[in-house]
């Protein structure tokens, strides 16, 4: 707030008032519908925000010296938000895991049924945790690799706060029973429209920073972050094309139907994996890994090949989610073959990351933060291999609809996405809050081993469970009929479900240790006296008039 | 463009760019990347040539193998049916007595019936067919509508109180709620009914049991029989044995007499084939025979 100029304070206040009006209209229009509750939530947020602005409106205005440092306050907020979301999201995930072990754990409430808390888990970890971490690190990385400060103080806050409002609308909506029933795109039309607004501001902010860069070349990380922002906008808009029942209802109906609907959903779904969970996090990896290892990127040329390979091939592969369905076979063929092709640039990325560590392996041994990133690259390679393999039709006929898919997703989500994020956050927290190091290197070590053990237990449990399940479903007896009933396969999976829930619990405990460590770092670790060098400053700006 | 420097560790040059301290080596792309990319591309192209692959406006390239997933499914279904044909034909043709006497056919019934029962019946009757509250135990000698394979098959076909036009229908009236019997008479008749299966429970309640006997004779016997042993023509349960659908304790019995009962079983005629229903009937029949 102290960094906001007078004009920005005025615009922020106007935005909050506008938001309050929108919330009020939703309350009025949707009073007979859960939409009204969301209207009230928005109204509450807006009123709270307005008072926040008003109470600090007359605080001293920032001087021109603010321009001599990167604007990291939004990144700080994003990192903290990511950790809050991950603790909540992993808790919900482990609850869902125990719910599958013991179906009575809903405690007879509607909001806690499997169909509602499962998307609460996925949205909290993917969008709450992953999204906040991506936005926070993208602002951080973009400013430094461009040697340019963010163009203004307001838009990054609009992006982060607006994005978190979207996540809260999504998660509370599921518990109220509001859903589009599109996997990973469950929020209804009004939340979707809000996200479009937020995302466009994000994109524009990014381009404006890029346009102000003082480096002649754009660093790899920014290619990936830009691909992430641009493609996610495209995916989100197309997949969520829908007509609401009325402006006073939360419910809407998709523009697509039948197999086109399924194809649109999985074109979105798989590219969410590609451009949200892969591209953005590769951007993170390409900055934080060489930075932490103190090594140059292994090969600039390999970076280029992998970037364009991943970006071009990924767009095609969504149909591999619909093998052996009503989807025409030629579409399945394209999805499968491009999935196989995709393996090469994926492994090139993982290889480029691991080879970058050549000459720094002793640091990997001693530094759990760097080890987080190294293991992430290993899991990235593992998961992309598994993904291409599972996309091959005959393999898919065994793996599809089984827990193998869940195991694959979590090898990616826990092993790759969460590990690279934890590594990057552990690297950036001391930099952001200007500390010498994390509060406790030992606790980072504890977190690392809990996370790795949790991931391995989880993934092995689901591999076993999935393959057992898949084989049981296709086992015939001598009479030529199915040997097992569906319930038989559930009983066979029970021990694996327990193992999975235990693995998830280990991962959750690790994340909580991480939260504590970060809290103590921010609160208690010794403050660094001054910037070590000018390398953490934007390029000298020509003298401009101080903020009005 | 900056000027590259040599990295002492790898011996490669850097590209000469530097971002916030990060540099990049100008290492050539390792040859295996190209080799694998070529191999993957070759695989993809080969697959496109052989299989349905690219759209051509109104149609698509059919592929040299002429493979079609729908035809493949139809073919494997036909083959599977052919493999089962000998046994299914026999089960369809033979009478229940002949099948139960045929050891091989009964093996098939047990194999196939287990999964059929698990997928269709177990949700209510339990995986071991031992029932749940409100859903009868199928492994006992106590049957509502008769325990021969023929009557079981008919029950499966039409269901009980179902939407099927020939459905078996049966209802126990709500004697208490509808004011047919006063509270005290309900308690008496319950004491009597309990004494049928548990004679020792009558001790100390002789008066109530005697009064209940009269109520039973005038109100209940028409359906449940003079001795309370039930009537499989009407689907009324035997009250003198040890098996209860809703529970045989006094509290549950009072509830049953007070509010009546009308259990339901769906019709399976539209959902299972005649042979599948026959196998299920034999499987259920066989469960008890094996005990």
CA distance B290 to chain A (A): 20
CB contact under 8 A, B115 and A485: yes
Contacts of B122 in chain A (CB under 8 A): 485, 487
Q: What angle do CA A532, A533, A537 make, to 5 degrees?
A: 115
Token pair 């996309």: residue: A391
Confidence of residue A66 (pLDDT cuts 50, 70, 90): confident
Report the chain A residue with the minimal C-alpha distance to residue B122: A487
B74 in contact with A at a CB cutoff of 8 Å? Answer: no
For residues A479 and B187, the model is more confident at B187
Which of A61-70, A137-146, A205-214, A527-536 is least confident?
A527-536
pLDDT reported for residue A547: 43
A301, B26: Cβ pair inside 8 Å? yes
Is pLDDT above 80 for B92? yes
**Confidence at residue B43, expressed as pLDDT on a 0 to 100 scale:** 97
Q: Indicate whether A39 pLDDT > 80.
A: yes
Mean pLDDT of A527-538: 61
CB contact under 8 A, A481 and B44: no
CA quadruple B202, B203, B205, B208: dihedral sign: positive
Cβ neighbours around A117 below 10 Å, total: 23
Determine how many CB atoms are found less than 10 A away from the CB of residue A532: 10
d(CA A117, CA A81) in angstroms, rounded, equals 20
Residue A141 has pLDDT above 60, yes or no: yes
Instruction: Give the span between the Cα atoms of B133 and B117, in whole angstroms.
Output: 18
Which chain A residue lies closest to B115 (C-alpha atoms)?
A485
Whether the pLDDT of residue A299 is over 90: the answer is: yes
CATH 1.10.760.10 domain range(s) in chain B: 71-167+265-290, 183-259
B176 neighbors B257 (Cβ within 8 angstroms): yes
Nearest residue on chain A to B123, judged by CA atoms?
A: A487
The neighbouring-strand residues paired with B160 are B168, B265
Q: What percent of chain A is helix, strand and coil (3-state, nearest 5)?
A: 75, 0, 25
Give the closest-approach CA distance of A117 to chain B in angstroms: 24
Residue-wise pLDDT tens digits, A158-213: 999 999 999 999 999 999 999 999 999 999 999 999 999 999 999 999 999 999 99
Number of Cβ within a 10 Å radius of residue B72: 12
Nearest to B23 among A296, A337, A488 (CB): A296
How near does any CA of chain A get to the CA of B158, in Å?
23
Q: What residues of A are in contact with residue B83 (Cβ under 8 Å)?
A: 480
- Which residues of chain B have a CB within 8 Å of the CB of A298? 25, 27
Q: B102 touching A, CB under 8 A?
A: no
Instruction: Measure CB to CB from residue B41 to each of A334, A341, A348 and give the nearest one.
Output: A341
pLDDT band at A531 (very low <50, low <70, confident <90, very high): low
Nearest to A215 among B19, B30, B44 (CB): B19
Q: Which two tokens stand for residue A152?
A: 């203004």
Banded pLDDT at B280 (limits 50, 70, 90): very high
- A438 Rama class: left (phi>0) / alpha (psi -120 to 50) / beta: beta
Half-sphere exposure of B3 (CA within 13 A, CB side): 0
How many CA atoms within 13 Å lie on the side-chain side of B122? 15
Contact A282, A348 (CB under 8 A): no
Distance CA(B144)–CA(B233), nearest Å, equals 8
pLDDT tens digits for A384-399? 999 999 999 999 999 9
Average pLDDT over residues A41-67: 92
pLDDT at position A184 is: 95
- The pLDDT of residue A544: 46
Cβ contact B83–A480 (<8 Å): yes
Residue-wise pLDDT tens digits, A445-478: 999 999 999 999 999 999 999 999 999 999 999 8
The percentage of residues in chain A with a pLDDT greater than 90, rounded to a whole number, is 90
Give CA–CA dist B158/B167, Å, rounded: 5
pLDDT at residue B2 is higher than 70: no
Residues of B in Cβ contact (< 8 Å) with A348: 29, 33
What is the rounded CA–CA span in Å between residue B218 and residue B228?
12
- pLDDT, tens digit, for every residue of A245-281? 999 999 999 999 999 999 999 999 999 999 999 999 9
Residue of B nearest to A479 (CA): B108
Tell me, what's the pLDDT at A2? 74
Put simply, the answer to whether A479 touches B26 (Cβ < 8 Å) is no
CA–CA dist A438, A38 (Å, integer) = 39
Cβ distance of A290 and B69 shorter than 8 Å: no
Q: Which residues of A touch B46 (CB under 8 A)?
A: none
The domain covering B183-259 belongs, at the CATH homologous superfamily level, to: Cytochrome c-like domain (1.10.760.10)
- Span A67-87, mean pLDDT? 95
For B209-252, what is each residue's pLDDT tens digit?
Answer: 999 999 999 999 999 999 999 999 999 999 999 899 999 999 99
Three-state SS string over B72-101 comes to HHHHHHHHHHHHHHHHHHHHHHCCHHHHHH
Contacting B residues, span 166-185, partner chain A, CB-CB under 8 Å: none
Contact call for residues A236 and A199 (beta carbons, < 8 A): yes
> What is the band of B87 on the pLDDT scale with cuts at 50, 70, 90?
confident
Is residue A240's pLDDT more than 60? yes
Nearest CA in chain B to A301: B29
What is the predicted pLDDT for the residue at A168? 98
Give the model confidence (pLDDT) of A308-326 as tens digits: 999 999 999 999 999 999 9
Cβ atoms of B210 and B190 closer than 8 Å: no
CA distance B174 to chain A (A): 30
Residue B288 has pLDDT above 90, yes or no: no
Q: And the tokens for B28?
A: 């050539």
Contact of B110 with B283, CB cutoff 8 Å: yes
Q: Which tokens belong to A142? A: 């973009």
**Average pLDDT over chain A, rounded to whole?**
94
**Would the CB atoms of A344 and B30 count as touching at under 8 Å?**
no
Select the residue of A217, A340, A487 nearest B44 (Cβ to Cβ): A340
On chain A, the residues whose CB falls within 8 A of the CB of B69 are 324, 329, 332
Query: What's the rounded mean pLDDT across residues B43-60?
Result: 95
Closest-CA residue of A relative to B127 is: A487
- Average pLDDT on A67-82 reads 94
- Mean pLDDT along residues A521-542: 65
Chain A partners within 8 Å of B48 (Cβ): 333, 337
Q: Is the pLDDT of residue A352 over 90?
A: yes
| A310 Cα to chain B: minimum distance (Å) | 12
Q: Average pLDDT in the A36-56 region? A: 95
Assign B86 a pLDDT band (cuts: 50, 70, 90).
confident
Task: Determine whether the interchain pair A291/B21 forms a contact, defined as Cβ–Cβ distance below 8 Å.
Answer: yes
Report the residue of chain B nearest A326, measured CA to CA: B70
Mean of per-residue pLDDT scores for chain B: 93
Under the banding of pLDDT at 50, 70 and 90, the label for residue B187 is very high
pLDDT at A540: 61
Nearest neighbour of B40 by CB, restricted to A290, A299, A343: A343
Structure tokens at B115: 């999964």
Q: Does domain B71-167+265-290 have CATH number 2.60.40.10?
A: no
Per-residue pLDDT tens over the stretch B36-51:
999 999 999 999 999 9
What confidence score (pLDDT) does residue B291 get? 64
- Which residue in chain B is spatially nearest to A331 when comparing CA positions? B53
What's the pLDDT score for residue A526?
A: 62
């Amino acid at each position: 707030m102290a960094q906001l100029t007078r004009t920005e304070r005025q615009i922020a206040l106007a935005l909050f008032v506008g938001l309050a009006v929108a919330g009020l209209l939703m309350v009025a229009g949707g009073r007979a519908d859960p939409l009204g509750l969301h209207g009230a939530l928005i109204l509450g947020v807006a009123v709270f925000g307005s008072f926040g602005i008003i109470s600090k409106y007359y605080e001293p205005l920032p001087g021109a010296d603010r321009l001599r440092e990167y604007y990291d306050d939004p990144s700080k907020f994003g990192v903290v938000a990511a950790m809050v979301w991950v603790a909540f999201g992993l808790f919900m995930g482990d609850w869902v895991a125990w719910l599958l072990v013991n179906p009575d754990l809903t405690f007879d409430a509607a909001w806690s049924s499997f169909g509602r808390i499962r998307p609460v888990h996925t949205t909290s970890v993917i969008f709450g945790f992953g999204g906040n971490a991506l936005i926070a690190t993208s602002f951080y990385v973009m400013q430094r690799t461009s040697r340019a400060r963010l163009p203004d103080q307001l838009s990054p806050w609009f992006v982060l706060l607006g994005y978190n409002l979207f996540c809260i609308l999504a998660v509370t909506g599921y518990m109220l029973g509001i859903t589009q029933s599109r996997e990973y795109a469950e929020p209804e039309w009004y939340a979707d429209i809000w996200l479009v607004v937020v995302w466009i501001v994000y994109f524009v902010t990014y381009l404006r920073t890029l346009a102000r860069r003082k480096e002649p070349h754009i660093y790899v990380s920014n290619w990936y972050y830009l691909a992430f922002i641009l493609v996610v906008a495209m995916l989100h808009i197309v997949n969520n094309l829908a007509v609401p029942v009325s402006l006073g209802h939360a419910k809407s109906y998709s523009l697509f139907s039948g197999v086109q609907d399924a194809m649109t959903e999985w074109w979105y779904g798989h590219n969410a994996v590609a451009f949200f969970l892969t591209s953005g996090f590769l951007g993170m990896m390409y900055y934080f890994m060489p930075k932490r290892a103190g090594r140059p990127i292994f090969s600039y040329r390999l970076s280029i090949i992998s970037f364009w390979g991943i970006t071009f091939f990924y767009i095609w592969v969504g149909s591999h989610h619909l093998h052996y369905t009503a989807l025409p076979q030629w579409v399945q063929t394209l999805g499968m073959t491009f999935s196989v092709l995709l393996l090469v640039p994926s492994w090139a990325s993982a290889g480029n990351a691991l080879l970058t560590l050549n000459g720094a392996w002793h640091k990997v041994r001693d530094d759990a933060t760097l080890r987080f990133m190294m293991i992430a690259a290993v899991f990235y390679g593992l998961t992309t291999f598994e993904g291409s393999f599972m996309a091959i039709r005959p393999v898919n006929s065994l793996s599809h609809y089984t827990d193998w898919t869940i195991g694959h997703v979590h090898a990616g989500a826990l092993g790759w996405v969460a590990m690279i994020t934890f590594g990057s956050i552990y690297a950036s927290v001391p930099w952001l809050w200007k500390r010498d190091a994390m509060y406790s290197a030992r606790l980072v070590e504890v977190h690392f081993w809990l996370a790795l053990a949790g991931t391995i237990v989880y993934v092995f449990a689901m591999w076993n469970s999935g393959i057992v399940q898949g084989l049981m479903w296709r086992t015939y007896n001598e009479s030529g009929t199915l040997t097992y009933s569906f319930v038989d396969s559930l009983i066979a999976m029970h021990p694996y479900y327990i193992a999975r829930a235990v693995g998830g619990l280990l991962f959750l405990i690790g994340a909580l240790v991480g939260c504590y460590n970060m809290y103590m770092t921010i609160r208690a670790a010794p403050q660094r006296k001054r910037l070590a060098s000018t390398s953490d400053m934007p390029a000298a700006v020509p003298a401009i008039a101080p903020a009005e | 463009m900056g000027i590259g420097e040599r990295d002492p560790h790898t011996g490669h040059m850097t590209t000469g760019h530097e971002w916030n301290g990060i540099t990049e080596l100008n290492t050539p792309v390792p040859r295996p990347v190209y080799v694998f990319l070529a191999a993957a591309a070759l695989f993809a192209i080969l697959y496109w040539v052989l299989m349905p692959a690219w759209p051509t406006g109104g149609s698509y390239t059919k592929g040299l193998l002429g493979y079609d997933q729908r035809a493949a499914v139809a073919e494997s279904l036909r083959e599977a049916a052919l493999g089962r044909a000998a046994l299914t034909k026999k089960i369809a043709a033979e009478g229940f007595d002949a099948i139960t006497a045929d050891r091989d056919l009964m093996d098939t019934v047990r194999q196939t019936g287990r999964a059929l029962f698990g997928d269709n019946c177990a949700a209510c009757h339990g995986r071991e067919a031992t029932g749940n509250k409100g859903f009868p135990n199928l492994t006992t000698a106590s049957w509502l509508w008769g325990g021969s394979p023929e009557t079981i098959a008919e029950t499966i076909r039409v269901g009980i109180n179902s939407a099927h036009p020939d459905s078996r229908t049966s209802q126990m009236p709500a004697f208490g709620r509808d004011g047919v019997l006063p509270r005290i008479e309900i308690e008496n008749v319950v004491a009597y009914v309990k004494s049928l299966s548990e004679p020792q429970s009558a001790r100390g309640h002789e008066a109530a049991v005697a009064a209940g006997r009269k109520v039973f004779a005038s109100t209940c016997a028409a359906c449940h029989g003079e001795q309370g042993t039930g009537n499989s023509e009407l689907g009324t349960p035997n009250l003198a044995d040890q098996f209860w659908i809703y529970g045989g304790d006094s509290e549950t019995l009072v509830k049953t007499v007070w509010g009546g009962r009308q259990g339901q079983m769906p019709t399976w005629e539209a959902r299972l084939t005649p042979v599948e229903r026959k196998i299920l009937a034999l499987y259920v029949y066989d469960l008890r025979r094996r005990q």
